[in-house]
Structure 1
Amino acid sequence: MDKTRLVEAKRRNGILQICKEWRNNGIEIAIDDFYDIHTTLQLQEKIIAKLDDLDTQKKYFFCKKTYEIEDFLNYTSKVICKSMKYVFFVENSTKFGAIKLQGDIISNNIEYIISKSELLNGGCSIFICSCGLENGVCLWRGEYDSRVYCW
């Protein structure tokens, strides 16, 4: 087995484990709900560019570290439309791929979904945005402050 096939087999196995874990928590996702790594990285670059633009325009909300999740939830409820699909960057999304989730799944399971975010698993952010990046919400934990971006 060549290295590329081995890497993809490990990725698929990891995705299947994620699907099983989420299913055990009442959320049905499938391997087809994951973006490939290349697309995930492209989406991530576009989102970072969007956040840079919002920084330039000073369009963000500061939040205290003790309330950052509550602030994020407040803005998430304003952005999520139950009938649309959204991109969610699960922990290790650059290894497995970001997930496409229906808005009602996010709304009905937000606490569990946030627990699987990069932020609560050693990263610095939570991203949820529409698949075309037209709207979204992000919590970014920086060295000196935490910010919620909503577009």
Structure 2
Amino acid sequence: MATSLQNLSDYDAATFIDISGKRFGLVVSEWNREITDILSAGAFDTLIKHGAKAENIYRNSVPGSFELTLGAQFLAQHDEMDAVICLGVVIQGETKHDDYICHAVAQGITQVGLKFNKPVIFGLVTTNTLEQAWDRAGGKHGNKGVEAAVAAIQMLGF
């Protein structure tokens, strides 16, 4: 989690397992695509950096963040898929839609992970402003996609 005390892209890889034979799914929201593409690149690059093979990383796009849950389920249901990383952006607006979307996505991603007994990672940027979202997509707080990929690798070590 990004705070003034920690950057999303800071981590210790000393305990990472060998992921060269692991398969990863990236489910990426097309809403706020200019940001989600950066999150996706951060996740992809991090997985490659730590040994994943490009041909074992599958990216599927969904229309918006609400659809991340079903997109994750489509990938997680395959036995050969080891972990799924969900990436999206929800920015607070004039209505409470962001509360409903974020809650539904958090609950849904949790349920998919439990149902298929594999890591399904919550890489949803939830901010009050567009500027804050950019800060979490490679800006002053790092890249939430990097953080999500690291979480997936760490969870595979259990």
Question: TM-score, normalised on structure 1?
Answer: 0.29
RCO (CA 8 Å, sep 6+): is it higher in 1 or 2? 2
Question: TM-score, normalised on structure 2?
Answer: 0.28
Q: Which has the larger radius of gyration?
A: 1
Q: Which has the higher helix share?
A: 1
